[in-house]
Structure 1
């Protein structure tokens, strides 16, 4: 069944700009839509519809940074019919509206990301500590001193703003603090630190990892340890949608906080 899920993911990623339905994917792999949707989410951490939207948003990110095409045209080009729906869902996934995302390279050129730890909003919250390991293939792809981001998310997908996050410095160890009670997934992504803002905002290949089990922070169990391994994902793998570099740029982070409702 794992190979069927991978084939379904390849099918969706290759046709992300087309009007495609769950029934189309299910027919392609020879499973019922219900069984495929349930198994797909169990293996990849998100339902097929969200996976499809993720690839559409990733393509939209590339188009936003590669030229001055109108946002409404990009919306239609990546498979959305309503620019309002596209803008709302893009902002929820990426953490910035399409227009704000288009302006990020200039902002990051003026204030590049720096190692930082942004705690959660619980004054007496939980902590999650551990270390990050990169595969040999990931090290070869990224080069020296890659930028390694670690964050806690309420779902098994790096979308929006993490509950608590950090950009590591020279160490592979991390600690996240101020975590409110709840269930979270620990995720990490690595970017080539020597690349320009555009390449960091939309990397050619995804290097990421997710802890094997969720973290449950309670009032009686606040401290947790999790290690995480990063590797190069297949070309069809879910992209990391959240705009990570501005989370480690102090002016950009402050602007995001000020704009939040």
Structure 2
């Protein structure tokens, strides 16, 4: 329990002080453990290092500010801890899938976005396989379930394969590249008590994809917990829904913290 409390405290500090130049040494001093111990237990519980968690929180907060304010991109860049607008724009685009200005338009219903599979830098298309599985959720869907294969445990970057289903059940991802990947699923749903919209997600992996992988993935969609890194990728069709109030439901903030 002590190790979980230390990580929870470190996550809280990151979420509260994301605009500061937080380092591993400072986080470790704040939670009263060695930096090596913190690095190990933080990664075990959250699936990512403190540095990657901090970067994800910064981009997540930038998404919220872009959606809910008219602040300039340069101003938002500074507010979330970046000293260079160019570096921020590059990191945001790599993580969310589109540039900040385009994301602002998308979140306000002024632009469309289609997830296109990632290709290698040289344009090559590696050998690919077919991957099947099933999604499960105890909730009433407000959106399709979006499922994709990504490089890492944070839902960010561009998917190598992408699909959607109208309800929980079987799915198939076509043309998944050979190698290691993570499967991510996400959807908006209704939570009855209290009556509100809630983001559900699931992660499966790492998965080794090859000609004889034989993987059957099970993705159980659940509400986000404190140890989950923010969702960064601009899920098609979901960003605009999270920015609108549904009759009878509470508005949930964008950023998916």
TM-score, length basis structure 2: 0.77
Determine the structure 2 residue equivalent to 1:258.
none
- Which aligned pairs between 1:198-237 and structure 2 lie closer than 5 A? 206-211=199-204, 213-219=205-211, 221-235=212-226, 237=228
Indicate how the Cα distance of structure 1 residues 144 and 44 shifts in structure 2: closer, same or farther if over 3 A, else same: closer
Determine the structure 2 residue equivalent to 1:245.
236
d(CA) in 2 for partners of 1:238, 1:133? 21
More helix by share: 1
d(CA) in 2 for partners of 1:144, 1:229? 14
**Which segments of 5 or more consecutive residues in structure 2 lack a partner in the other structure?**
120-124, 191-196, 240-257
d(CA) in 2 for partners of 1:112, 1:56? 22
Determine the structure 2 residue equivalent to 1:180.
177
Cα-to-partner distance string for 1:28-75 (whole Å, 9 max, x where unaligned): 222211221233223222211111111111111111111221111011
What SS does structure 2 have at the residue aligned with 1:10?
Answer: helix
Conservation of the 8 A alpha-carbon contact between 2:142 and 2:188: no
Cα-to-partner distance string for 1:208-234 (whole Å, 9 max, x where unaligned): 1112x4211123x14421101111113
Determine the structure 2 residue equivalent to 1:26.
28
Q: CA deviation at 1:247?
A: 9.7
Determine the structure 1 residue equivalent to 2:15.
13
Q: CA deviation at 1:125?
A: 2.1
**Which segments of 5 or more consecutive residues in structure 1 lack a partner in the other structure?**
194-203, 249-261
Indicate how the Cα distance of structure 1 residues 205 and 53 shifts in structure 2: closer, same or farther if over 3 A, else same: farther
Determine the structure 1 residue equivalent to 2:128.
125
TM-score, length basis structure 1: 0.76
Number of aligned residues: 227
Conservation of the 8 A alpha-carbon contact between 1:152 and 1:184: yes
Asked if 1:88 is matched to 2:90, the reply is: yes
Determine the structure 1 residue equivalent to 2:40.
38
Report the RMSD for the aligned CA atoms in angstroms.
2.9
d(CA) in 2 for partners of 1:178, 1:205? 31
d(CA) in 2 for partners of 1:223, 1:208? 24
Cα-to-partner distance string for 1:106-159 (whole Å, 9 max, x where unaligned): 5x567698xx9x77875862121111112x4xx2xxx44433111111211111
d(CA) in 2 for partners of 1:12, 1:70? 24
